[in-house]
Amino acid sequence: MSLSGSYDASNIFAKILRGEAPCVKVWEDADTVVFMDIFPQTQGHCLVVPRDVEARNLLDLPADRLNGLFGRVQKTARAVVSALNPDGVIITQFNGAPAGQTVFHLHVHVIPRYENLPLQPHHQGKMADMDALSSQAARIRSAMEA
């Protein structure tokens, strides 16, 4: 898909936001849902997804929503670092298929990095164990509430 086009309300993240598809939720507020990536590149890989917006990518997001979204990305990254103690953290966001975007609803990846563990391929790796994701989500959630 190109950078421009019509928003498809049947994308998986839109379904998750409407409660029509399951996810392993980390936390949510009125503007954002954070959930675990089911094809994680490493343990603790979270997705920060804005609600109530038909934005396929960052270029479609109204400017007045940027501060709120990236404030929540920072909050999530801090909780991931506190909960999982990685050696680093990647914060990334893809715009268009040639850039690596596979779900066309704006989302930001928070990916912990561990020095001696390679990253799994983006969206081509192995589906995660749901119990492991739930455990990671609980640890991150607890760090957010601390």
**Structure token pair of residue 113:** 């990095």
> For residues 100 and 112, what is the distance between their CA atoms, to the nearest angstrom?
18
Tens of pLDDT, residue by residue over 130-145, are 999 999 999 999 999 8
User: Strand pairing partners for 91?
Assistant: 110
Over the chain (146 residues), the average pLDDT of each successive run of 10 is 88 97 97 96 96 96 96 98 98 95 96 94 80 97 91
Distance in angstroms (rounded) separating the CA atoms of residues 38 and 55: 22
SS3 assignment, position 55: coil
Rounded CA separation 69/35 (Å) = 14
Going from N- to C-terminal start, the domains of the chain cover 12-145
Could you name the CATH architecture of 12-145? 2-Layer Sandwich (3.30)
Catalytic residues: 107
Model pLDDT for residues 113-129, shown as the tens digit of each residue: 999 999 988 766 678 99
Q: Is 14 left (phi over 0), alpha (psi -120 to 50) or beta?
A: alpha
Q: What is the pLDDT of residue 1?
A: 65
pLDDT of amino acid 121: 83
